[in-house]
Structure 1
Amino acid sequence: MPTPRGIRSSLPRSLGRALVLLAISALVLGTVHLALVLPGAGDARWVHLLFIVVFWVYVAAGLVAWWRRPSNRMGALIVIGGLALFAGSLADTTVPVLPVIGTITATAVLAVAFHLLHAFPSGRLRSRASRVTVAAGYGVALVLQAPLYLFDPGAPAPLSVADRPDLLMLGSTVQRACGIAVAVATTAILARRLIRSDAAHRRVLGPLFAYGIVAVILIPASASLFEAVLGMPALVRAAVQAVLLGGIPVAFALGVLRGGFARTGELEELGTWLGTTGGARPSLTAALRHALGDASLDIVFWVPDSRTWVDAAGARVGLPTAGDERSSVEVEVGGRTVGAIVYDASLLADPDPVRTAGRVVAIAVERERLTAELLASQDALRASRARLVATADRERRRIAQNLHDGLQVQLVLLALEAQQVANAPGSTPDTREQATSLRKGIDDAAADLRRLVHDVMPSTLIEQGLSAATEDLVDRIPVPTRLHLGITDGALPGAIESTAYFVVAEGLANALKHSRAGAFTVRIERRGDRLLVEVHDDGVGGASFTAGRGLRGLADRVEVVNGRLEMQSALGHGTRLSAELPCVL
């Protein structure tokens, strides 16, 4: 994980000195071991050298992991694995006592390998099944190792107690069978963990688990397998075992680099973050992700008025529940809950560092909570205004439909009846004149009603859609108008269609009243997920949103549907009114 700008490493000096001391000690131990073994090793000299190199690889990988995550146990476990490997190699020395240690711990490194597999990436055993399996692995490596030296006359004194080949064979068989059982149980547990992991973790854990299982199975089996099947000499088999062992810490180091666990650092880094100002300061979430080593970590905020959790954008979210791969720790200021840190429970098994980090940045969380609460309020206000507009549009459509289908039809029928009275046989000239005048008055009222219906909500827009309504509007404009349509009727929400229509209507109405233009241009087209509506004239310009209520109301309506309304109207260069509307609400 890259280090956010504004955060610096603050590894404690005591830990730094301890890691340096461990590195020097490992170098010295390996060098002394080679000095004791190499002079009389003969042809096996390079194999001894290879095992010490593997020991150094373990220690180096462990120290790097320890440095990157001081509060994580993985680094210490890898170092312990290297020490177990070194202890087992002491069987090749001739110094008193050292061969005894080497014989007893000959297979201890395999138990540590099982432990590493179960503990990765948090450094802790996450389930009872893992704890039982790892304990069994140590039992197989240390307890069941006893018959292999107690009943072997070639074991260093004073380990051998009897020359019993039968018990030696039985002990070897039992140890091998139990070791296979531990490997099978480990495989099942890790497979279940892989299945429950997300894709990002699976890419890291899959190769690591696969190599670890293959290595711990092949290492004890290689002595007989490679000799019987491939005819490998003993020295080559030993070298293959060393290479397989050396790949285990390398695999874990790759897991570190690929995101299996990132650098945690110390929580004092958050103090550096809090003290940084200006553009160099990273976001609070980025600082916490870096400090705790979890790239998926997020912060959510508590809104007490609505009793809900929201994210940084103000959208409602929920906290993880028990049994999820993710967990959360609440952040409090003065006894009040202000937020929560949501993190990967498989990566950070211990919530204490998360809780401590929350206390360090609590004030910053409170500040960002207020921002998130404001955003949530704005979203709620926008949603409320959108509902009001949608309700108003539905009511306008209903009123327009009722006027068109009800009152307008009645006026037409009344006009027909008045005409029939005028044309009736035996009617007097005064009656015919009055009836004709009544019909004309009814016709005028019907025309006024049609104009009212069109102003409320054009029937063409209701029945045929935006394209047809815009064409009808343009046809009634007394100024030459070019129309460009790039939309498909029926593909847009009703609120967007009506908003786009009113943009065109208001733009043309203003142009007719004030622009003194000789030509208009209307363009409606879809560009991806946005609808572009544009009205342009070649008039005198000088229009503004503050000149009248029509444009201000139109701007409010466009904003309600999360759109944007702009106007360019330089004096002498005409006016261009343009709106961008979302195609999906």
Structure 2
Amino acid sequence: MSPAGLTPAKRAAITAIGFAGVLGAAWTIVAVLTSEHTSPKWLVLALMLTIGGSFTATGMYAWARRPDSWFGLQLSLVGLTTFLTALSASDDDLLFTLGVLVGSLSSAVMIHALLGFPTGRLRSRGERAYVGAVYALCTVGPLALLLVTAPAPDLPRNVLLVEENARLGDVIDAILRGGSLAAAIGAVALLVLRWQRATIPERRLLAPVLWSGVATTGALALSLAGQMLDLPGRLLNVFDFIGLFLFGSIPLAFVTGIVRQNLSRGHSVGRLVSRLGAAQAGRGAASLRDALAIALHDRSLSIAYWMPAGTGGEGRYVDAAGQPVALPRPGSGRSFTEVEREGRKVAAIVHDGSLDEEPELVQAAGAAAALALENERLDAELRVQIAEVRASRARLLDVVTRERRRIERDLHDGAQQRLVALALTLGIAEQQVGADPEQAKALIREARDEARLALEELRELARGIHPAILTDRGLRPALEALASRAPLPVALADVPEERLPPPVEGAAYFVVAEALANVAKYAEASHAEVIVQRLNGHAVVEVRDDGVGGADPASGSGLRGLEDRLSALDGRLAVFSPSGRGTTIRAEIPCAS
């Protein structure tokens, strides 16, 4: 993110840090050059200005570059606390004491920043406990030592001294040295463990800063160990100089990492472009994925293709085979970058979470591969459509099979039983014609009633398959008959008088029939409205109710069957059902003009 993307609050904070850095540098110059107990002044001044200034400036740049990361702020705080250390160069008793008190704070902030890189956030309870212990060691420890220890006679007075106790001071000093050594070794161990657990993309990002931090904390550990072992002062000075040099190299390592990222970005995108030609020649999604994985140095990379709403359902992501995929959630260690082309969503590159720290690289790779991703997306969309057609065909076959079985069952339980009874009655009547004509006539009348009932049942059965009124008189009379049988008031509006193609009329009729059945069963509505219009070569059917809403189109087989019926005619079905605001079912069916 560019500085232009900063919030006003963070922009003001960065400005304040810059102002504080200038004041800190000015104070350091004055304090060191006027000090009567600091030597050699120019070396101390050069080290403090270099370390404090580089950390502060680099931190400001890092925070402006990644406003959502706290690492830049932490780097700046390392620089500002380094300037605070210059207070110990003052000849004023209070300022000198304050400088000694905060002298180790910059090391604690540095360790915090190293363990939190690149987001500035610690990842585990163990890391948080360790960093808390380091802060306590670097603040409570010096305070305890100042309470019982007097400085050398040529130094300013310790204003925090309560009562001098050399023996207790030696114990506290030994604890501080041992704790500092343990903290330095712990930092090295945690940083190395972080490297071992990192993915390849994470290692590319971590390498410059992490190994610079390992070297710095390692040098600090050597210096502390040397002091505890009472090594010669000249050797300890060498350790201290190396430690300060490495400490000051951390901002340089960060900047070097950014420069390397920028150079690598151009190289990676260039290689990606050259590989895309080979991937397209192979016409394989795997080849495209491999090209992106190599460019982004992420073997785990995958691609999800965007299927817009209307392609087999609501808009969603699918894999190359057309199967739905879920994008990674925050905190999962995985992330994704969406790719657009001409303002349209094309795909999402699913990658290692560490690549969020290199958004320019991922976005550049996505832009370079956008055309190839669009082609693969179209292939995936075709697979989705083919799979949906196959599934629809299977559902239609299942519906036909179930409908056939229902008709067989209804015929067996209804008309067939009546016809069997009719045949038996006529047989008995035939036997009674000569012996008892009146009984025969009664049986014939009974047979006639059975025939009439069988005929009514057959007509009712036929009406469920395809209403005769729809075939004979058209859609409007059929819908009027349907509305008259509904258990709630149904208003018909704008139903055209002219006939539509039979398949269209049939589809429209069954949309209304299913919708009204659902209204009666679930909607708790007081009335419904049916609208049928011809718009732009389509028959548009809408059924609205004033019920409770909240209908789930995926929960019932009736609407799914309608979707399949409409899909066979290249039609579409949509359901709008906000909770508490009723339901509208809308079908669009292409028809001849």
TM-score category, normalised to shorter length? 0.3 to 0.5
- TM-score, normalization by structure 1: 0.47
Bigger helix share: 2
